[in-house]
Amino acid sequence: MKKRLFLSTLFLLLPCGTVFGQEYAGTYTIHGADGSFTLTLTQTGSEVRGRLTGDGQSLELTAYAGADGMSGTVTGPGEPLAFVARLCPEGDHLFLAFGVREGFVRADARDAIQLTFERERSQTYVVINGVRLSEQKVRALEGQYGVSIPEGNYWYDKICGAWGHVGGPTVGYVLPGLAIGGRLRPDASNGNTGVFVNGRELHFQEVRELRLLVGIVYPGRYWLDTQGNYGFEGGPALGNLKAIAQRTGVRREGILSTYDKTGLAVIGGATR
């Protein structure tokens, strides 16, 4: 029972319509008086590539995805055309505005072509560390651990069990060493803090929480295990964050914390 509760935090904590780490990859369609168009996107980290086809045309798309949306260019027979895009909170519609470079256009803008694409949901889309899980793998995980896995793009630290949405900070902890996904990327959280844990550069929110817990946080490369022990890469343990949290008597959320967002202490697999 403890193991199931511990692992279930991986997916049950995911809020619908979260801004962090929106996953744009997939197939989108639009049907109108001028015909049907299909937009197919792939995503690696914050880089998005794709192709827009319809009306006898095929346009190449390159873009960058951030917390506030996606922006880039489409290339065809003529000059490249800039665009901005945004997913609706539910993730089932994509709003595109061509002819603009930044910011989102007003509905009455006359200098931009605005389209609303519907996202196809025929197959489960769950990506972990850049690798899309097969339908069979997702269903097997759901059956094995009694969870429902929402579609999304996640990073997962197999060493300490931390996880989150691509582009965002740690959301919770699960069992380490699960045979899912690819290799954890250093830029999985779009961090710019100079603080690396198990190879991932921490998000500023994580460093802020660490400072509340331990005080000064020096830039550098650290390791962290499931028991809360930490140290510099290649060196011995310098301390135990779980013990520090217990001494302070204050619950902390975020990376290297004893508590996840449910209030359950999950480092090391214990729940209470």
Task: Please give the Cα distance from 130 to 188 (Å, whole number).
Answer: 9
Task: Please give the Cα distance from 76 to 83 (Å, whole number).
Answer: 14
Fold of 26-119: Lipocalin (2.40.128)
Measured CA angle at 68 (ends 102, 48), to 5 deg: 80
DSSP state at residue 265: B
SS3 216: coil
Sign of CA dihedral 250, 256, 259, 260: positive
pLDDT score for 198: 97
- Tokens 């949306």 sit on residue: 69
Tell how far CA 171 is from the center of its chain.
10
Compute the residue count for the chain.
272
Q: Which helix (H) or strand (E) holds 6?
A: helix 2-12
pLDDT score for 103: 59
Asked whether 248 and 202 are in contact (CB, 8 A), the reply is: no
pLDDT score for 27: 87
Q: Which helix (H) or strand (E) holds 76?
A: none
Measured CA angle at 107 (ends 105, 112), to 5 deg: 55
- Per DSSP, what are the bridge partners of residue 40? 27, 51
- Per DSSP, what are the bridge partners of residue 59? 52
Residues 6+ apart with CB under 8 A from 68: 19, 86
Low-confidence ranges of the chain (pLDDT < 50): 1-21, 107, 252-272
- Tokens 């359950």 sit on residue: 264
Q: What is the pLDDT of residues 138-163, one digit of tens each?
A: 888 888 877 777 778 899 999 999 98
Give the side-chain half-sphere CA count within 13 A for 6. Answer: 18
Q: Which of 99, 123, 135, 115 is nearest to 25 (CA)?
A: 123
Task: Please give the Cα distance from 35 to 117 (Å, whole number).
Answer: 13
Q: What is the pTM of this model?
A: 0.54
pLDDT score for 22: 66
pLDDT score for 264: 29
Going from N- to C-terminal start, the domains of the chain cover 26-119, 124-269
CB count, 10 Å around CB of 140? 12
DSSP state at residue 88: -
pLDDT score for 272: 27
